[in-house]
Chain A
Amino acid sequence: MRKVNSWKMLFFALVCSILLVGCSDEKSANSEKGQTGKEKEIVIAVNENFISMDPHNTGDTNSNSVQSAMLEGLLGFDKDGKIIPVLAEEYSVSEDALEFTFKLNQGIKFHDGEDFNAEAVKTNVERIMNDESLRLNSRGFNLITSIDILGDYEIKITIEKPYGAMLTRFGSAKMISPKLIKENSSDIPKSPVGTGPFKFVEWVQGDHLTIERFDDYWKKGERVKKITYKPVPENGSRVAMLKTGEASVIYPLPAQNLEELEANKDVVVSKIPSTIARYVSINTMKEPFNDVRVRQAFNYAVDKDAFINVVNSGFGLPLDSIIPSKTIYYAKQDVYEQNIEKAKELLKEAGFENGFTAEIWGNTNSDTMKGMQFIQQQLKEIGVTVEIKSMEEGTLSDEIYGAQTPEDSKLQMWYVSWSAYASDITNATKPLFHSESFPPNGSNTAYYNNAEVDEWMDAANSTGDTSKQAELYEKIQSAVYKDSPWIFLGVDELLYGSRSDIEGIYVETGGGINVNDANFK
């Protein structure tokens, strides 16, 4: 009797599990029915989960990418990352860089039917300024002193002191329906309402996020009915999805698979230069790295082309300044070409003829571990023994930012990358090279301290005069590059793949996926 029971139980459990799965199947089968009609669906596979749909509280590229299909800002960015007006018809900045005036486009509606006007802009700006729970995007907006509505479709915003990145901030601060903000603000991170070409449908955590064409979008155009984004972290799986057609677009496309995919007729592979700089920051306050000759020797020891070939599978450009070439005011510098003899000589002059032992830190991503091994191999050539210490991201950040003063810091070298909006040179320089930005107050992990450079950065930041800014940033780039607070490695190239029957989807230089004109051919 008992034995029968246990078998029955087992059988019952099995049947239950099959039934449960069967039920869940039916549900999704229904929702899939739309796929077969004329109104098809495009699937985009990305490498990470989305974090939040609150545009005023987003730091990651993937969430931003999805939001930009649904939401628009006063300003925006073109393919190369230059600032362009979007919801604003035109904008102007006062000479002292304190007043920003926007003339708005008319006749724009939010997905919930609300009008887009100066009042809506004010509601949004005030939310960013005042809501304490918005941890990320208040920077810049906390400088705002007044918001003046000049007319139904004109608004002026004044800040207390000049802030070089303010226009970029207006570009990234996307507008949400004022009704949502006032009545249901806790829904914003889950289901935002904006003015964009697509509106939110559903977000199943960890599985997919779906958006649908907004038929009353203010810019006319042919667009696909539905887009579904799926996080697919494993490189091999993403490639497989593109091959089988389960995904129409994958980003990023792993460089190792490029050749294989280029041979595939159903797939188009594209690459664009990014604003991601890869480098090793060297603690310029620690011996022996406080000697500029040692740091230059490191730069001469590294073969940049080999770096790109070995670590990035051949994709990337040498980092020939302190910022990537797509960043505004970029000025090319003379690259430290690999020269082992010169490197050894410099070390000898600095008194390290027999080399020394150093430590490099990095996170546990396989790319980082690859890169650190490469640095280890290259520096071995000039007699420097490098010990690799890879740490899990949270631990690493504690080790780096836990140091309250430069003397506390145990950091010697850090293999890392930095990316900023192409239009935002402030963020591409100040947190990295200004003496105010030593950890924990910023990411100047080289502890680079150059009074002149500080002064130039401050001056560039407090003027609205672009030619003066260009001049100052040229000086900054040249001075810092010579001082070698980093081992300058490379600038990533972004690779993405799409099925050949897709058009109107491209990846922007900042890594966002633009789907504004997404359609089947």
Chain B
Amino acid sequence: MFQYILKRIIEMIPLLLVISILSFLFIHMIPGDPARLVAGKDATLEDVNRVSIELGLDQPIWKQYISFMGNLFQGDLGTSLKTGLPVSTMFADRFMPSVYLTLLSMGWAVVIGLIIGTLSAVFKNKWPDHLGMVTAVSGISLPGFWLGLILIQIFSVQLGWFPTGGSEGWKSYVLPSITLGAGIMSMLARFTRSSLLETLKADFIRTGRAKGLKESSVLTKHALRNSLIPVVTIAGLQFGFLLGGSVVVETVFSFPGMGRLLIDSIAFRDYPVIQSALLLFSVEFILVNLIVDILYSTLNPKIQYES
């Protein structure tokens, strides 16, 4: 297992190099000239050209790439074209809030999703199933900004329990994490249910029952564990998505996360920020996937990884 992990981590390096080249080419392919956007609407051509030289945008693209990577290896993510601030400074204040929000949203979504999914499967076609599935189905049918705005109306404006936004104190995390987790909770509940229903019909469960094992122990010891594989896949995917920040939730709750920074930077063609953010997301994603793959083999010993 340890060797496997090590191998995967070593595999990351060429992958990240490829990603960095691809994303570099990719973001430069999108039409739009940051020099023009920095210089402003009333700029003359002379102004724009001056800005272009100052920002190093007049250099050939491979030179820009090499200087970006050169700085990266020295731990320097570069300077934002738009703000003139170091990219690392801009990330520093946003990264941890994004991580906390992700963990909280995933945390409650996984716990509640598993509980609802399991209850629904166990009480298939009885009222807990129906109630659970109505909750779950409603959760994914609501657009995020809609849910967020309604939560603000109820819990901030009417009841005054939670602030409308920001990232100060645990209270300001409550509404965003509910909004962000609702869809995931619903997905997980549905996947748990369907996957559990499948496993409950499987041979080894029947055998277990036939051997006279207690129903609760059949459920927790055998069925649930085996049905967790697709659930872990979905949870891992969502986790990776969330780390990239959510523009909608960050916008509605004025939350200082990575999503809005990336959107603003794309709009401004702020190459160093986009480039660094993409690399950061890639690293996060690969790590999350690695964890998911390890969980697979923990959950189902039948799945082996070559080491």
Q: Do A and B come from one complex?
A: yes
Residues of A within 8 A of B44 (CB): 437, 441-442
| Number of chain A residues close to chain B: CB under 8 A | 67
Interface: A34 (CB within 8 A)? no
CA distance A181 to B145 in the complex (A): 44
CA distance A52 to B268 in the complex (A): 14
Closest chain-A Cβ to B208's Cβ sits at a distance in Å of 14
CA distance A234 to B103 in the complex (A): 24
Task: Tell me whether A206 and B256 are in contact (CB under 8 A).
Answer: yes
Task: Tell me whether A17 and B164 are in contact (CB under 8 A).
Answer: no
CA distance A20 to B101 in the complex (A): 10
Interface: A468 (CB within 8 A)? no
CA distance A24 to B173 in the complex (A): 11
Task: Tell me whether A13 and B107 are in contact (CB under 8 A).
Answer: yes
Residue from B42, B145, B157, B268 within 8 A of A394 (CB atoms): B268
B14-56 Cβ-contact flags toward A at 8 Å (1 or 0):
0000000000000000111100111111111111101100100
Residues of B within 8 A of A25 (CB): 168-170
Residue from A17, A204, A401 within 8 A of B100 (CB atoms): A17
CA distance A442 to B82 in the complex (A): 20
CA distance A192 to B32 in the complex (A): 31
Residues of A within 8 A of B46 (CB): 441
Task: Tell me whether A240 and B225 are in contact (CB under 8 A).
Answer: no
Residue from A29, A52, A244, A394 within 8 A of B37 (CB atoms): A394
CA distance A189 to B38 in the complex (A): 15
Interface: B230 (CB within 8 A)? no
Residue of B whose beta carbon sits closest to that of A204: B93
**Which of B68-76, B84-92, B131-139 is near enough to bind chain A?**
B84-92
Task: Tell me whether B164 and A21 are in contact (CB under 8 A).
Answer: no
Closest chain-B Cβ to A239's Cβ sits at a distance in Å of 9
CA distance A3 to B217 in the complex (A): 12
Which residues 97-133 of B have a CB within 8 angstroms of A?
97, 99-100, 103-104, 107, 110-111
Task: Tell me whether A207 and B153 are in contact (CB under 8 A).
Answer: no
CA distance A10 to B36 in the complex (A): 49
Interface: B216 (CB within 8 A)? no
Task: Tell me whether B89 and A205 are in contact (CB under 8 A).
Answer: yes
Closest chain-A Cβ to B88's Cβ sits at a distance in Å of 11
Task: Tell me whether B166 and A230 are in contact (CB under 8 A).
Answer: yes
Task: Tell me whether B166 and A395 are in contact (CB under 8 A).
Answer: no
Interface: B182 (CB within 8 A)? no
Interface: A184 (CB within 8 A)? no
Interface: A51 (CB within 8 A)? yes
Task: Tell me whether B38 and A233 are in contact (CB under 8 A).
Answer: no
Known A-B contacts A17-B107, A21-B173, A190-B89; A5 and B149 likewise in contact (beta carbons under 8 Å): no
Task: Tell me whether B42 and A14 are in contact (CB under 8 A).
Answer: no
Task: Tell me whether A241 and B83 are in contact (CB under 8 A).
Answer: no
Interface: A464 (CB within 8 A)? no
Task: Tell me whether A189 and B83 are in contact (CB under 8 A).
Answer: yes
Which residues 382-406 of A have a CB within 8 angstroms of B?
392-395, 397-399, 401-402
Task: Tell me whether A237 and B152 are in contact (CB under 8 A).
Answer: yes
Residue of A whose beta carbon sits closest to that of B41: A443
Known A-B contacts A17-B107, A394-B268, A397-B36; A206 and B261 likewise in contact (beta carbons under 8 Å): yes
Closest chain-B Cβ to A41's Cβ sits at a distance in Å of 12
Interface: A49 (CB within 8 A)? yes
Residues of B within 8 A of A132 (CB): 50, 54
Task: Tell me whether A418 and B41 are in contact (CB under 8 A).
Answer: yes
Task: Tell me whether A246 and B168 are in contact (CB under 8 A).
Answer: no
Residue from B84, B254, B261 within 8 A of A233 (CB atoms): B254
Residue of B whose beta carbon sits closest to that of A22: B170
A1-45 Cβ-contact flags toward B at 8 Å (1 or 0):
011011000100110111011101100110010000000000001
Task: Tell me whether B301 and A2 are in contact (CB under 8 A).
Answer: yes
Interface: A133 (CB within 8 A)? yes
Residues of A within 8 A of B163 (CB): 244, 246
Tell which of B84, B145, B167 has the most Cβ of chain A within 10 Å: B84
Residue of B whose beta carbon sits closest to that of A245: B160
Task: Tell me whether B92 and A205 are in contact (CB under 8 A).
Answer: yes
CA distance A136 to B83 in the complex (A): 12
Closest chain-A Cβ to B157's Cβ sits at a distance in Å of 5
Interface: B257 (CB within 8 A)? yes
Task: Tell me whether A205 and B256 are in contact (CB under 8 A).
Answer: yes
Which residues 164-196 of B have a CB within 8 angstroms of A?
164-170, 173
Closest chain-A Cβ to B38's Cβ sits at a distance in Å of 6
CA distance A189 to B152 in the complex (A): 34
Task: Tell me whether B298 and A28 are in contact (CB under 8 A).
Answer: no
CA distance A393 to B152 in the complex (A): 30
Residue of A whose beta carbon sits closest to that of B30: A394
Interface: A231 (CB within 8 A)? yes
Task: Tell me whether A206 and B94 are in contact (CB under 8 A).
Answer: yes
CA distance A399 to B33 in the complex (A): 10
CA distance A96 to B285 in the complex (A): 64
Interface: A151 (CB within 8 A)? no
Residues of B within 8 A of A29 (CB): 169
Interface: B156 (CB within 8 A)? yes
Interface: A122 (CB within 8 A)? no
Known A-B contacts A21-B100, A24-B96; A234 and B84 likewise in contact (beta carbons under 8 Å): no
Interface: A236 (CB within 8 A)? yes
Residues of B within 8 A of A3 (CB): 220-221, 225
Task: Tell me whether A230 and B254 are in contact (CB under 8 A).
Answer: yes
Known A-B contacts A51-B82, A237-B253; A394 and B94 likewise in contact (beta carbons under 8 Å): no
Task: Tell me whether B47 and A240 are in contact (CB under 8 A).
Answer: no
Residues of A within 8 A of B170 (CB): 21-22, 25
Residue from B32, B168, B260 within 8 A of A32 (CB atoms): B168
Task: Tell me whether B267 and A394 are in contact (CB under 8 A).
Answer: yes
CA distance A14 to B101 in the complex (A): 12
Residues of B within 8 A of A420 (CB): 42
CA distance A442 to B166 in the complex (A): 39
Task: Tell me whether B299 and A431 are in contact (CB under 8 A).
Answer: no
Interface: A59 (CB within 8 A)? yes
CA distance A514 to B32 in the complex (A): 34
Residue from A13, A133, A244, A442 within 8 A of B160 (CB atoms): A244
Task: Tell me whether A243 and B36 are in contact (CB under 8 A).
Answer: no
B228-247 Cβ-contact flags toward A at 8 Å (1 or 0):
10000000000000000000
Residues of B within 8 A of A16 (CB): 103
Smallest CB-CB A-B distances: 3 pairs: A394-B32, A17-B103, A206-B256
**Which residue numbers of A lie inside 8 Å of B, CB to CB?**
2-3, 5-6, 10, 13-14, 16-18, 20-22, 24-25, 28-29, 32, 45, 49, 51-52, 54, 57, 59, 132-133, 135-136, 139, 189-190, 204-208, 230-234, 236-237, 240-241, 243-244, 246, 392-395, 397-399, 401-402, 418, 420, 427, 431, 437, 440-443
**Which residue numbers of B lie inside 8 Å of A, CB to CB?**
30-33, 36-48, 50-51, 54, 82-85, 89-90, 92-94, 96-97, 99-100, 103-104, 107, 110-111, 145, 149, 152-153, 156-157, 160, 163-170, 173, 220-221, 225, 228, 251-254, 256-257, 260-261, 264, 266-269, 295, 298-299, 301
Q: List 28 A-B contacts (CB under 8 A).
A: A13-B107, A17-B103, A21-B103, A24-B97, A133-B54, A189-B85, A190-B85, A205-B92, A205-B256, A205-B261, A206-B93, A206-B257, A207-B97, A230-B165, A230-B166, A231-B254, A234-B145, A234-B251, A234-B252, A237-B253, A244-B157, A244-B164, A397-B36, A397-B37, A402-B31, A437-B44, A440-B45, A441-B46
A sample of 6 more A-B contacts (CB under 8 A), given A17-B104, A234-B145, A394-B30, is A135-B50, A230-B254, A234-B252, A236-B149, A237-B152, A443-B41
